[in-house]
Amino acid sequence: MGYEDVYRRSIDEPEAFWGEEARAIHWHVPPRQVLDYSKPPFRRWFVGGQTNLCYNAVDRHLPERADQLALVAVSTETGTTREISYRELHRDVNAFAAILLRLGVGRGDRVVIYMPNMAEAVFAMLACARIGAIHSVVFGGFAAHNLALRIDDAQPKLLIAADAGMRGGKVIPYKPLVDEACAKAATPPPKVLIVSRGLDPAEPKVAGRDEDYATLRQAVGDEQVDVAWLESNEPSYLLYTSGTTGKPKGVQRDVGGYAVALALSMRTVFDVAPGQVMFSTSDVGWAVGHSYNVYGPLIVGATSVLYEGLPFHPDAGIWWSLCEKYGVRTMFSSPTAIRVLKKHDVDFIRRHDLSKLRYLFLAGEPLDEPTAHWINDALGKPVIDNYWQTETGWPALTLLPGLDMKPVKFGSPGFPNLGYRMKVIDEGTGAEVGPGEKGVLVIQPPLPPGCMTTIWNDDARFLSSYFSHFKELLYSSLDWAIRDEQGYTFILGRTDDVINVAGHRLGTREIEESVSGFPAVAEAAVIGVNDELKGQVPVVFATLRQATEEPHERVRAAEGMRRTVEQSLGAVARPARVYIVNALPKTRSGKLLRRSLQALAQGADPGDLSTLDDPNALEEVKKALQRGPEAGN
């Protein structure tokens, strides 16, 4: 069956479709009802079924693939590689679960995990899943204030932290951040478990609270821990989105629906079968890290490559070296990472044997065409954009090479994924727009399995944040989109990233796409700033493929960007100012901090910068603003 037929069945006969897909995972007790949608938009999938994410990811593979690699944890920061079989993963996860039980963690208790991409972070996540605890992974090195907010919302029984992380060879101690967060939190965890890598030998212990992982690991030995069989709709984990205002939102995921959705996506979207290898470059603290570093590959019986380090250290070929060494079939990264690699010689890719690599998937932000063309030409492999959110948990728009590979159309993530009832609608009337017309991308509930079930302890916020934007009950993605005549969807940017220039509504994403089409540009961010005459005007911050301090070369490049935008989008979209910088401020997950750029450009407070990846980038922007634009007024 082709995509159209399978998709139509997933929409028209969801209970029959998902009932069949549920067979891909192990159920201790089979579901008695596939879907309960008696309280829209809340829904419950696989009601009454009992299962466990850890059992599906580890235990059930032991009879056939105990000696197969389950996890390869590579750190170019610490210079270590750990190759872990399914048998070894089972042993270490059981030991970690035994430690959790000794520290008083039980079913339904929350555990905050504050660690980088290291094997023990995966053990901790799976150990929580094994005993029915709810994990909440917070990106390692996150600011203490933000960690404290998440602690107070989740109210964990335990916080697990590495002693330190590393970035670019620099040690980032975590323990002082943990101590500060616990001091700031209204409800600090009674216990803190420190997993030491020997990076911060001076980290002090808090008597009665702090425990040492190595000591407890030795004490529990090879202790076995029984699996807790959870009803399908019990919470599996919380993953906090930063949010623009107010406290962070704890996206709550279920157990059974998530497992079924990941099993389906590993087969149809990522085309990975048992025994094959997937390499996701994400951090475990992000949604992609949860779904496609940890749970997805392991649920399907594949090997997952987990990487800690920069994409260009020791050189820009490190990722491709790992692909060659481990025979990676499917790789998953971000447009930002590829734009970083774009600054390096393409030989760093071509000198490696990538004959086993079939696909490169990119997500996290819209993929601009120049970057897509560059990596496609460099690899000679299909480069597949895909669109999803922390809230969806797995791709919502994508191509499905494991089912029916449609032609890649650069600039578009493709078609609605199986089970997603998606429309592009007029923001005012709520009516579906025609091909080529801009509207808001929405999902008609019930949301498919794997998507968020609610916001932790806040059903009202779940409704107001996602389902209150239109008269009809619809999930708003808060993204602008266009569908073409063939049904391909194009994401134009956030509905709150719209510039109103003299009555003309322009998406910042559209202008960024155009600016990136200028050959000298490596990366660009477009913001709208207030203007007395036009209301708002577009302003560009850009990095060049070949950095230069020569003023005339920078001016020439900036003028070229303005001309390119005018030629492709018209004079109304021509940037009022262009600033050339050596780096753009981004989060550690690679997303551009456009709101902070906008605030700085208008002399306002840039807001929470705890997720900033490189503080020097912010200084670059400040210097550029003081210096003045290379082009414009």
* Span 520-537, pLDDT tens digits: 999 999 999 988 777 789
Whether residue 475 sits in one domain with residue 504? no
pLDDT digits (tens, 9 = 90+) for 180-208: 999 999 999 999 999 999 999 877 899 99
Residue 343 is assigned to a structural domain of this protein: no
Which of 259, 253, 256 is CA-nearest to residue 232?
256
What DSSP line would sit under 354-422, residue for residue? -TT--EEEE-SS---HHHHHHHHHHH-S-EEE-B--TTTSS-SEE-BTTTB-PPP-TT--BEEPTT--E
| Structural domain ending residue among the three candidates 425, 444, 479 | 479
User: Tens of pLDDT along 197-240?
Assistant: 999 987 789 999 999 999 999 999 999 999 999 999 999 999 99
HEC sequence for 46-92: EECCEECHHHHHCHHHHHHHCCCEEEEEEECCCCEEEEEEHHHHHHH
Which of 295, 248, 308, 285 lies closest to 138 in space, CA to CA? 285
Residue 290 C-beta-side C-alpha neighbours within 13 Å: 30
Domain end position, chosen among 451, 479, 507: 479
On average, the pLDDT of the chain sits at 93
Same domain (yes/no): 443, 517: no
Range of the domain at 189: 3-309+386-479
Nearest Cα residue to 11 out of 35, 41, 27: 35
Phi, psi dihedrals of residue 220, rounded to the nearest 5°: -80, -20
State which amino acid sits at residue 439. Answer: G
Cα–Cα distances (Å) from 480 to 112, 312, 495, 614, in that order, read 34, 33, 6, 29
Inter-axis angle of helices 256-268 and 14-21, to 10 degrees?
80
The amino acid at residue 9 is R
pLDDT at residue 592, rounded to an integer: 82
Helix count and strand count (H, E) for the chain: 21, 33
Say which residue the tokens 């003309």 belong to: 504
- Whether the CB-CB separation of 215 and 266 falls below 8 Å is answered with no
**Structural domain count, the chain:** 2
- Whether 507 has a pLDDT exceeding 90, the answer reads no
Q: What count of residues does the chain have?
A: 633
Strand 230-231 versus strand 50-51 pairing type: antiparallel
For the cut 90, the answer to whether the pLDDT of residue 571 exceeds it is no
pLDDT score recorded for residue 561: 95
Rg, Å, the chain Cα set: 24
Look at residues 345, 354, 341 and name the one whose alpha carbon lies nearest to residue 380: 354
CATH at 401: 3.40.50.12780
* Mean pLDDT, residues 460-481 taken together: 94
Q: Quick one: pLDDT at residue 569?
A: 80
Mean pLDDT of 99-117: 98
Say yes or no: 507 and 435 in one domain: no
User: In a 3-state reduction of DSSP, which class is residue 41?
Assistant: coil
The verdict on residue 301 lying in a domain is yes
Contact between residue 233 and residue 51 where contact means Cβ atoms under 8 Å apart: no
> What is the model's pLDDT at position 92?
98
Confidence (pTM):
0.87
Is the pLDDT score of 243 beyond 60? no
Q: Considering the domain boundaries, does residue 489 fall inside one? A: no
Asked whether the predicted pLDDT for residue 313 surpasses 80, the reply is: yes
Strands 191-195, 158-162: pairing kind: parallel
Answer yes or no: is 367 within a domain.
no
Q: What is the pLDDT of residue 46?
A: 98
| pLDDT for 559 beyond 60 | yes
Determine the pLDDT at residue 237: 98
Please state which of the ranges 106-120, 165-179, 315-329 shows the lowest mean pLDDT: 165-179
CATH number assigned to the domain comprising residue 605: 3.30.300.30
**Nearest-angstrom CA–CA distance, 162 and 196:** 6
CB-based burial of residue 63 (10 Å sphere; 0-12 exposed, 13-18 middle, 19+ buried)? exposed
125/227 same-domain check: yes
> Is residue 320 included in any domain, yes or no?
no
Query: Is the pLDDT score of 245 beyond 50?
Result: no
Task: Copy the structure tokens of residue 453.
Answer: 């079930």
Listed residues 479, 510, 545: the one ending a domain: 479
- Asked whether 348 and 319 are in contact (CB, 8 A), the reply is no
> Is position 426 within any domain?
yes
Cβ atoms of 310 and 36 within 8 Å: the answer is no
CB 99 within 8 A of CB 217: yes
The H or E element containing residue 482 is: strand 475-483
Q: What values do phi and psi take at 214, rounded to 5? A: -60, -40
Same domain, 217 and 112: yes
Q: How confident is the model at residue 316 (pLDDT cuts 50, 70, 90)?
A: very high
423-436 residue pLDDT tens: 999 988 999 999 99
404 and 540 belong to one structural domain: no
Q: What is the residue-wise DSSP string for 538-599?
A: EEEEEEESS----HHHHHHHHHHHHHHHHHHH-GGGS-SEEEE-S---BBTTS-B-HHHHHH
455 lies in the same domain as 534: no
Handedness of CA 109, 114, 116, 119 (dihedral sign): negative
- Do residues 68 and 129 both lie within one domain? yes
Q: Which residue shows structure tokens 């963690």? A: 105
In the chain, the percentage of residues whose pLDDT exceeds 70 is 98
Under DSSP, the state recorded for 623 is: H
Residues 241-252, mean pLDDT to the nearest whole number: 72
Going by pLDDT thresholds of 50, 70 and 90, the confidence category of residue 611 is low
How many CA atoms lie within 13 Å of 529's alpha carbon, on the beta-carbon side? Answer: 19
Helix 3-12 vs helix 14-21: angle between axes, to the nearest 10 degrees? 110
342-377 pLDDT, tens digit per residue, is 889 999 999 999 999 999 999 987 788 888 999 999
**Residues 249 and 113 reside in one and the same domain:** yes
Together in a domain, 455 and 527: no
pLDDT at 369: 84
Task: Indicate whether 424 belongs to any domain.
Answer: yes
In angstroms, how far is the first alpha carbon of the chain from the final one? 57
pLDDT tens for residues 136-159?
Answer: 999 887 778 889 999 999 999 999
Q: Are residues 278 and 403 in the same domain?
A: yes
| DSSP-based three-state secondary structure for 319 | helix
Answer whether residue 446 is part of any domain. Answer: yes
Long-range CB pairs of 8-13 (<8 Å, 24+ gap) are 10/418, 10/419, 10/448, 11/419, 11/421
Confidence of residue 493 (pLDDT cuts 50, 70, 90): confident
pLDDT of residue 244: 43
- The Cα 567–Cα 557 span in angstroms is 15
Q: What is the mean pLDDT of residues 546-551?
A: 88
Phi, psi of 578 (to 5 degrees): -130, 125
List the beta bridge partners of residue 164.
Answer: 173
- Model pLDDT, residue 145: 81
> Quick one: 467 and 503 in the same domain?
no
